[in-house]
A and B are shown apart, each in its own frame.
Chain A
Amino acid sequence: MLGITGGKVFDPINGIDGRLMDIWIKDGKVVPEEMIDKSEAQIIDASGKVVMPGGVDIHSHIAGAKVNSGRKMCPEDSLRLLRPRSQITRSGSGLTVPSTHLTGYLYSEMGYTTVMEAAAAPLVARHTHEELEDIPNIDKGVFITMGNNHFIMKCIRDGELGKAKDYVAWLVGAAKGFAIKIVNPGGVENWKYGKNVQNLDDEVIGFGVTPRQILTTLGQINKDLKLPHPLHIHGLRLGQAGNVDITIETMELMNEFNGHFCHVQFMSYGGERGSLPQSASKKIAQAINEKSGVSVDVGQIVFGPATTMTSDGPAQFSLHQRIGGKWINDDLESESGGGLAPLTFKRNNPLHGTMWLTGLEIFLLVDDPWKVFLTTDHPNAGPFLGYPQVIRLLMDRDYRTREFERLHTKAKKNALLPELKREYTLYEIAIITRGGPARRLGLKNKGHLGIGADADLTVYLPDDDKEEMFSHPAWVVKDGEIVVKDGHLVREQPGRTMYVSPNYDPQIEEDIKAHFKESYTISFENYSIRSEHMGPNEKISCD
C-alpha cells in the first residue's frame, strides 16, 4: 500500500488540472482512500511537487530485429552512453540504440511507464518479444507491419475482403501484436524490384493493387475488429520535399476509419520535389485540426546523434544515397522489409534546421493537444532522452527563441516559428505525454490516475527549467512499486507485454497454410507465438 499525498496532480483524462490531492495505491492499482489501512501504507510526501500519470510513448523503436541491427552496426553508439552494473541493475550501453535493460532504466528514470515498439514484421516478432521481455520497468506492446503483406494484397486483388479480415485477426494474434502498422503501403514491395510508390493510385508490382486500396481495406478491418488502437500509419514519400500533399490526401482518405499518423514531421514538407524541403506545418496542422478521425505523433528532431531505422526500405536507401556511410537493408519474405542508417542532426545544417522547425511548429499549430503526441520517433529523429528538452521548447518561448537563433540562416529565413507565441501548460504536457497517447492507444488503465488505473505515476520537482524538471523526476511508481526514489533507480522489475487476439473464422487457417507452402520458408505450424513462451503478458480485449 502506498499513498502519494499533497501533490499537485495533473490527470487530464479525469479533467484534473493541478489540483492538490492524494493518490492511494493497493495491489498495483489506484484505489479509493477508504480501501487503505493508513497505519500500514507507505507515504510519499508530494507536497510542493507535481504528480502525473506515468509517461506513455506511442511510437518508439526499442526492440527487435531493426533496433538490434542498429546496435550491431553502431559500436560507436555504445560508447556514447555506458552504464556500469550495480547491486540491482545490469550494465548496458548505447544512446540512440541502448541495450535492452538500459532502455528500461532510462525510460523509467524519465518517468515513463508504457512504451509502444513501433514496428515488427510478424515473421520476426518472436525476436521483438524476446527483447521486450528483457526491457524492465515499463509495459509495452508492438505494432505489426501489414502494409506490404502478400496475403492481404492477394485478398484485395481477388475482392475477398472477408478473408483479409480473418487473416489480419489471425496474424495480429499470431505475432502477439498490439496494433496494425502500415509502412509505405506497396512501396516496400515495389522496392524489392528497385522501385517505390509515389501516389495513392500507383500499382504494386505483381499484385495489381494500390496503396489506396491497402489503406482503406486495413482501415475498415481495423474498425471491424474493434482493435483498441486505430490504424498506425507511416504513409508515402517519407522525407521527400513536397510530401505534405500526399500526407493530407492520405489523412482525408483515412479520416472516416480513424488513423494515427506517426512521425508526421517527416511527412510534412513543402517545396518542389527533389529540392530542399520546406516546413509545411501550417498546411498539415490545418488538416489535422479539421479532421476528427486523425491524430499524430510528431517525431521531433533532437540535434545530435540519431540512428534512422524504418520498414520503409526505399526511403532508407535514398537516404543512404544522399548521405553515404553505413547502410543496412533487410528484405523480409512475403511481409515487409526495412533499412537503417546512422545520422547526426546538426543545427548548422539548413535541412536539419528546417526539420526541427517543422516539428515544433506542428506541436504549436495543432489546436487540440489530444491529437498530437510527443515522440522523436526514437531513434530516428533523436533519442527518447531528448523528450525533456522538447518539453522545455514547448513550454518556454524565450528558450525556444534562443534555440531558434542558433539555426543556420537558410533554415531561419521565412520561418513561422518566431511568430508562434503559444507556450504549453503542464496540463497540456500531461496530455501529449500521458493522457493523449494512452487514450489513442485504447489503454483504459494507462495514462490516468482514476480509480482502477494501473498504479504507474511520476512525481516531479517543479523547476523553471522544464528540461531539468522532466529529466529527473523525484519518484516513479510502476505497478504500485517505487522504482525511482530521489531521482535514483532503486528497483528493477519485469514489465508486461500487452497484445490483442481478435476472433476469426478458423477456416481461414486452411488458406493461410496453403499460402505458407507457396510463399514462406517456414511452416505455418512454427509461425505463431504462444503467450506462455513470452515474458509477463496481458491480453487486451477488443470491444
Chain B
Amino acid sequence: MSRIIEDVICKFCGCLCDDIAVETEDDHIVKIKRACPNGRSMFLDYDSSFSKPLVNGREVEWDEAITAAADILDKADSPLIYGLSSTSSESQRKAVELADHLGAVIDSTSSVCHFPTSQALQAVGEATCTLGEVKNRADLLIYWGCNPLVSHIRHFSRYSANAKGMLLPNGRKDRTVVVVDVRPTATSKVADIFLQIKPETDYEILSSLRALVHGKKPEYCIDGVNIEQLEQLAAMLKNCRYGVIFFGMGLTMSTGRSYNVTELFTLVAELNKFNRFSAMPMRGHGNVAGADQVLTWLSGYPTAVSFACGIPQIGPGEFTSVDMLAGKEIDAAFIIASNPAVHFPHAAASHLKKIPTIHMAPVSNGFTGDADVILPTACYGIDAPGTSYRMDNVPLRLRSVLKKKRPTDEEVLIQIIKAVKKC
C-alpha cells in the first residue's frame, strides 16, 4: 500500500527543512520530494529492518546486550558518553541522566564543531536571530568560513540568500551576499563579493573590521588582503538595514578557535549601535544544537561536562573527548549516534579500539566494527518521532514515516539506566 506523508522534517543537517514529502510503499520509502541530495540519500538509503544487537560480534537478545552495556559502564572508572547530535532531545536527556548517575564525562559532537562558539558566547554573549528573521529582514548576508551550498544545501533557498521575505520581496536581488573563505567554494561562486583570505588570518581581519567600523584605520598589513577591501566591507556592515553573519568551522577549527568567534561576536554586537546585526553558527547535524541545549539545562554547561566529582564541571581541553581519548584518560566509551572512529584525529580514535566500547546508532549509519556492544536502534525522523533543535534553536517535533522495528535510543537508555542502578 502506498501513502504520501507531507510536512516531514529532514534531520540530516541543522536546517531541519520541514516541507519534505515522503512516499512509502509497504513500509519502504520509495520517493522523496523537495529534499536536497543529502536529505534524499538519508531517507532513501535507510534500512529500517529488524536487527539484533551484538556483543563481541555475537548476535544476542536485547536483555543480554543491555546487561553487557551496563556491565561495561559500571566497571569503568572513567567512562565517556559521546555523540548525541543525531539523536532526539528526549534521548539526550536520558544520556545526561546516565552520565550523572555514572559520574561519567559526557560530550557531544559540538566538541569538534562549535564548542569554540560556545566558549565565545561564554565570553561576550551573542546577538542572534531565528532563520525567519533572516528570510524576512536581512539585506546583507555574510558567510564566513562556511560552505552552505555543500553542507546546508537548502539554506539559501529556504532561509537566506535566495528566499523572498517580508522586506525582501525580490529575494536574491534585494540582498547582498559576501563570502569570506580561504579557498573558492560552491558558495563563493554565487556571492556578490568573495573575499579570499589567507589561512589563519581571520582574527586579524575581524579585528581590523572592528577598528574600521569605529572609524579607525589599522596601520598594519594583513597577508592576502588590502585595506581598501576591508574598508569597503566595513562600510557595507555599517550601512545595511539588517545584517547577518553565518559562520562555520573555518573559524572554529583554525588557529584562534574561540578567539576568532569572540572577535566576530564582538563585531556583531558593536554593529548594533549603527543598525541591526546578528550572527549565527552553521550547525551541522540535525540536533547538535539540541545537544547543547539539553546539556545546558541539565548541567549548566553546553559541552564537555564531567560528572566525575558528583557535580557538573565543564572543561574545554580537559573533558573534551579528543583530549581525554588521546591522553588515554577514558577507560570505556558509549558512543551514541556518531562516528568518532572516522571523525577524530587518529591518536584519539585509536584509543577507542583499546577500551571497551558500546556503540548505539541506527544500523544504516554503519558501525566501526570495533565496538564490544553494538546496539542497532531506530532512526529519529524516519522510524521514530522525537524533538530536534534547528540551527537557530527552534525546536521541532520529528515525524516518523516508517514502522519502528528496532527500539529507540531513548528506550535503550532507559533500560541501561535501570540496569546500572541495579549494578
B-binding residues in A (CB < 8 A):
63, 65, 67-68, 71-75, 77-78, 82-85, 90-94, 97-101, 123-124, 126-127, 130-131, 134, 191-194, 206, 317, 320-321, 326-334, 340-341, 518-523, 525-526, 529, 533
Contact = CB atoms under 8 A, between A and B. Distances in A.
Interface stretch (B23-31, B295-303, B344-352): B295-303
B100 A519 contact: no
Contact of B133 (A67, A84, A124, A332): A332
B296 A72 contact: yes
Contacts of A529: 397
Contacts of B89: 130
Contact of B297 (A71, A85, A331, A520): A71
A319 to B, nearest CB: 12
Quick one: which of B7, B118, B300, B301 has the most chain A CB within 10 A?
A: B300
Interface in B1-50: 6-7, 9, 18-19
14 contacts: A73-B122, A73-B125, A85-B307, A93-B299, A101-B298, A127-B393, A194-B276, A329-B129, A330-B128, A330-B130, A523-B7, A523-B19, A526-B18, A533-B397
B292 interface: yes
Interface string B121-155: 11111111111110111000000000000000000
B97 interface: yes
Nearest to B314: A75
Contacts of A533: 387, 397
A333 B133 contact: yes
Contacts of A71: 296-297, 300-301
B124 A326 contact: yes
A73 B19 CA distance: 33
Nearest to B393: A65
A108 B128 CA distance: 35
Given A91-B307, A127-B293, A326-B124, A332 B129 contact: yes
B242 interface: yes
Given A126-B397, A341-B125, A526-B9, 10 more contacts: A71-B297, A78-B312, A92-B312, A127-B293, A329-B127, A329-B278, A330-B128, A331-B130, A519-B136, A529-B397
Contact of A92 (B130, B158, B300): B300
Contacts of A123: 130, 394
B282 to A, nearest CB: 15
Contacts of B101: 85
Given A126-B387, A329-B278, A131 B297 contact: yes
A93 B311 contact: yes
A196 B6 CA distance: 40
The 10 A-B residue pairs whose C-beta atoms are closest, nearest first, are A333-B132, A78-B300, A84-B310, A331-B129, A93-B300, A326-B125, A126-B395, A525-B7, A329-B127, A521-B132
Contact of A100 (B269, B297, B302): B297
Nearest to A331: B129
A99 B297 contact: yes
Contacts of A332: 129-130, 132-133
B159 interface: yes
Interface of B: 6-7, 9, 18-19, 89, 93, 97, 100-101, 118, 121-133, 135-137, 158-159, 166, 241-242, 269, 272-273, 275-276, 278, 292-294, 296-302, 307, 309-312, 314, 387, 389, 393-397
A326 B389 CA distance: 24
Nearest to A126: B395
A74 B100 CA distance: 21
Nearest to B16: A522
Given A68-B293, A333-B131, A75 B7 contact: no
A413 B95 CA distance: 56
Given A126-B397, A130-B395, A78 B132 contact: no
A192 B127 contact: no
Contacts of A340: 125
A331 B127 CA distance: 9
B302 A72 contact: yes
Contacts of A74: 122
Contacts of A72: 118, 121-122, 292, 296, 301-302
Contacts of B389: 127
Contacts of A63: 297
Nearest to B123: A326
Nearest to B96: A90
Contacts of B278: 329, 331
A380 B97 CA distance: 29
A362 B310 CA distance: 43
Nearest to B166: A519
A124 B395 contact: yes
A99 B118 CA distance: 17
A82 B301 CA distance: 13
A130 B312 contact: no
Given A68-B297, A333-B133, A124 B394 contact: yes
Quick one: which of A78, A93, A191, A331 has the most chain B CB within 10 A?
A: A331
B256 to A, nearest CB: 20
Contacts of A83: 311
A329 to B, nearest CB: 4
A449 B86 CA distance: 47
A191 B121 CA distance: 22
B317 to A, nearest CB: 14
Contacts of B397: 126, 526, 529, 533
B307 to A, nearest CB: 6
Contacts of B131: 333, 521
Contact of A134 (B159, B298, B301): B298
Contacts of B241: 193
A187 B367 CA distance: 52
B127 A91 contact: no
Contacts of A320: 269
A320 B312 CA distance: 29
A99 B294 CA distance: 10
A90 B100 contact: yes
A328 B126 contact: yes
A77 B297 CA distance: 13
A333 B136 contact: yes
A199 B419 CA distance: 61
A511 to B, nearest CB: 17
B301 A75 contact: yes
Given A100-B298, A134-B298, A526-B397, A91 B311 contact: yes
B311 A82 contact: yes
Contact of B300 (A65, A94, A519, A525): A94
B269 A333 contact: no
B135 A333 contact: yes
B223 to A, nearest CB: 32
Contacts of A85: 100-101, 307, 310-311
A321 B272 CA distance: 10
A77 B300 contact: yes
A194 B127 CA distance: 13
Nearest to B242: A192
Given A91-B100, A127-B389, A329-B272, A521 B158 contact: yes
Contacts of A192: 133, 137, 242, 276
Contacts of A193: 241, 276
Contact of A521 (B130, B275, B292, B314): B130
